[in-house]
Amino acid sequence: MMALDLSQNKHSDVSMDEKDRLFDEVKSDERWEHVLYGCYECGICVAACPSARFYDFSPRLIAQAVAREDTDLIYTLMSDSIWDCSQCFSCDRCPRQNSPGQIITIMREVAVKNGLGTAKEALAGYGRIIYKIMLTGTQVSPDMLQPDAFPDWGTHVYEIADNLDDWRRALPPETLHTTETSWVIDDKTIIELYLIWHMTGVMDLIAGVDEGLYDIIVDVMEERLEEAGYDDVTFD
Amino acid sequence: MANENILIIGGGPTGLEAARGIADLGYKAILVEKREILGGTPEASGYAALTPDMRDAGEAMQEMRDAVENNPNVEIMLNTEVTGSTGSTGDFKVSANTGGKDITIEAGAVIIATGFTHFDPGRETQKYGYYEHDDVVTLVDAEKLLKSGNFVRPSTGEKPKRVAFIQCVGSRDRQIGNEYCSKVCCGISSKQAIEIREMLPDCKVFIFYIDMRMYGYWENEIYWPAQEKHKVNYIKGMATEIIKKGDTLIVKGEDTTMRRPMEVPMDMVILAVGMEPSAGTIAVADIFGVHKNKYKFIETIGGALNTVSTNVEGVMAAGACTGPSDLEDCISAAGAAAMKSIAAVRRVAVPA
């Protein structure tokens, strides 16, 4: 387990103005007033948190940092700790009705929108999942597992990844779908999804964190949209 | 013939309420106060607003004074100090000095309501430098600044940008000998923090604490609003030292949540000094032979079921002379003492 380094001014290359601006963006989120009240350090969120058992991660620390409006510390957490959260929202049982998990959701969105370096790193492990879901509109499949990205799955994750196909055939599960063999989504649905992602800025977010992945997805999307008669829709 | 008058020693909130209660019940109260004004520590120390309801302290003390002044059942003796006592229930003869003149007061029972004094931060075991640094003040000093309506740094007369409270100064400290919690300081600091944030919206306010002790409604009336509405920063971890660097105070302590030592600059530091027995409490306890506990507060003997009786029959103690108390505690104990003191004289005057 890597120890979380919270030393002051750890990211001295980033100006305090920039750190303030990012936190202002977090606070301006319309969900903000319902996710943070005040924290009296009871530790229920940490007790309930599965990630806290595997990482040097504390939802209490996140709630405290944002309650204090300590923008230097918040930047440090946005650059590291927030990506250790499983987003399971077990912390929602907070007696003050804070939601560290939802605070993190907002912080992650701001990190992604602003292309923070750690957002790119953290999301690298999800490239295959994004690729699959964005193009097919459907499910996660077991062969999306990228063993290097998920240490909390244990050391045997490599063995599972290597032998996945054989082991699944031996079971066998109800379907044997993989990234290559998902069920078919009808044309109307997938075109609507592509349009929604285009119009809501989701594609811009992906461009900000993974340009290579963006290029691959956009190629496919543009082709399908053109076939469907949307020749005026372009990504750039 | 048993004397049915009740002597009350101390004209603070407890003594005033006891006198009012006794008068309301048709008995005579003799209220002695060593200062030249009634109102006790809230008056003498210039409290601004009461905790938790923020009521104007001067106005509240005036209301208490109004209930006993010009009350035919209350005899008020200011500038009066008790010097000795003989006798027992129904027949106390208490000697006193009033304005330089020795007198004897006859009473059937006695209520001691001699209160507390604020801890002197010169005795703290940390290195806060109250007597070295102008901008290190106590809750009492801060209360005066708030009352003046001009909350400024004593060193420069300028508005502070960063203010820190340090809790438990003189309380919960074995080195000092005060292991007890002073009970009110968490609430008072939080109340003052809110007042500072309202007066100076650009000023950041921090409270360094061990535990926040905000019992009952103080939690939702002061603590949560301080955090949620007024954005007061509560940092769990104590400061051990304050050093001066140029114009600024550096507070050294531990930020336990963030698992790191801290050295943070502040314009002002407010020490949340606790309660100790007043000199009057110690002296009067000795005059009446009333037991004191190891902290020299007066010991009451009835546990939770009787908060005012002492080892000496006919002598009650109420309020902050028995230990750290908030105003509500004092008023409640005053009522209990009024009732018990009347019951004591009636037992002698009207035997069962």
Under DSSP, is residue A105 helix (H, G, I), strand (E, B) or coil? Answer: helix
Structure tokens, B199: 């007066």
Structure tokens, A67: 């309650």
Residue of chain B whose Cα is closest to the Cα of A96: B224
Query: What value, to the nearest 5°, has the Cα angle with vertex A129 and ends A134 and A100?
Result: 100
Q: In CATH, which of 1.10.1060, 3.40.50, 1.10.3470, 3.30.980 is domain A16-122?
A: 1.10.1060
Non-local CB neighbours of B315 within 8 Å, separated by 6+ positions = B109, B110, B111, B112, B288, B290
Q: Do B260 and A65 touch (CB under 8 A)?
A: no
Number of alpha helices (DSSP H) and beta strands (DSSP E) in chain B: 9, 18
Task: Name the band, by pLDDT with cuts 50, 70 and 90, for residue A129.
Answer: confident
Nearest to B260 among A6, A60, A69 (CB): A6
Write down the pLDDT at residue A161.
87
Write down the pLDDT at residue A2.
62
Write down the pLDDT at residue A132.
80
Query: What value, to the nearest 5°, has the Cα angle with vertex A208 and ends A205 and A212?
Result: 110
Residue B222 near residue B236, CB atoms below 8 Å: no
Residue A234 DSSP one-character state: -
Under DSSP, is residue B84 helix (H, G, I), strand (E, B) or coil? Answer: strand
Of A118-122, A211-215, B94-98, B176-180, the poorest mean pLDDT is in A118-122
Give the containing element (helix H, strand E) for A46: helix A44-48
Write down the pLDDT at residue A139.
65
Chain A residue numbers touching B259 (CB-CB < 8 A)? 6
Residue B294 near chain A (CB below 8 Å) = no
CA distance linking residue B180 with residue B174, whole number of Å: 9
Give the containing element (helix H, strand E) for A131: helix A127-136
Chain B residue numbers touching A8 (CB-CB < 8 A)? 260
Q: Do A6 and B259 touch (CB under 8 A)?
A: yes
Predicted confidence (pLDDT) per residue in A14-26, tens digit: 999 999 999 999 9
Query: Does residue A183 register a pLDDT over 70?
Result: no
Structure tokens, A78: 């946005």
Chain A residue numbers touching B236 (CB-CB < 8 A)? 41
Chain B residue numbers touching A65 (CB-CB < 8 A)? 258
**Domain locations in chain A as residue ranges:** 16-122, 125-229
Topology classification of domain B6-115+278-349:
FAD/NAD(P)-binding domain (3.50.50)
Which residues of chain B fall short of a pLDDT of 70? 352
Alpha helices in chain B (DSSP H): 13-24, 40-44, 57-68, 139-148, 185-199, 218, 224-228, 279-288, 327-349
Write down the pLDDT at residue B278.
98
Residue of chain A whose Cα is closest to the Cα of B237: A41
Structure tokens, B31: 């209220």
CA-to-CA separations, A117 to A12, A155, B125, in angstroms, rounded: 15, 27, 47
Task: State the pTM of this model.
Answer: 0.85
- Long-range CB pairs of B322-325, under 8 A, 24+ apart, other chains included: B322/B297, B322/B298, B323/B180, B323/B275, B323/B293, B323/B295, B323/B297, B324/B116, B324/B171, B324/B180, B324/B181, B324/B182, B324/B183, B324/B184, B324/B274, B324/B275, B325/B116, B325/B183, B325/B184, B325/B275
Query: Does residue A181 register a pLDDT over 70?
Result: no
CA distance linking residue B158 with residue B160, whole number of Å: 6
What is the ipTM metric for this complex?
A: 0.78
Judge if B6-115+278-349 and B119-274 fold alike in CATH terms: yes
Q: Give contacts of B 206-245 with A, CB under 8 A.
A: 212, 223-224, 227-228, 231, 233-236
Residue B259 near chain A (CB below 8 Å) = yes
Q: In CATH, which of 3.30.1330.20, 3.40.190.10, 3.30.1340.30, 3.50.50.60 is domain B119-274?
A: 3.50.50.60
CA distance linking residue B91 with residue A91, whole number of Å: 66
Write down the pLDDT at residue B221.
95
Write down the pLDDT at residue B174.
93
Q: What is the mean pLDDT of chain A?
A: 88
What single string gives the DSSP state of each residue in B4-57? --EEEE--SHHHHHHHHHHHHTT--EEEE-SSSSSSHHHHHTT--B-TTT--BH
Residue A205: phi and psi, rounded to 5, are -60, -45
CA distance linking residue B269 with residue A135, whole number of Å: 59
Write down the pLDDT at residue B2.
87
Write down the pLDDT at residue A182.
61
Q: For residue B90, how far is the Cα from the chain centroid? A: 31
Query: Does residue A140 register a pLDDT over 90?
Result: no
A·B CB contacts under 8 A: 33
Chain A residue numbers touching B253 (CB-CB < 8 A)? none
Query: Does residue A133 register a pLDDT over 90?
Result: no
Of A141-155, A218-232, B11-25, B135-149, the poorest mean pLDDT is in A141-155
**B29 has which bridge partners?**
B6, B74
Chain B residue numbers touching A40 (CB-CB < 8 A)? 212, 223, 227, 234
Q: Do B257 and A61 touch (CB under 8 A)?
A: yes
Residue of chain A whose Cα is closest to the Cα of B227: A38
CA distance A59 to chain B (A): 11
Predicted confidence (pLDDT) per residue in A38-70, tens digit: 999 999 999 999 999 888 999 999 999 999 899
* Residue ranges of chain A whose CB lies within 8 Å of a chain B CB: 6-8, 37-41, 60-61, 64-65, 67-69, 73, 96
**Domain locations in chain B as residue ranges:** 6-115+278-349, 119-274
Q: Do B228 and A60 touch (CB under 8 A)?
A: no
Q: Do B236 and A38 touch (CB under 8 A)?
A: no
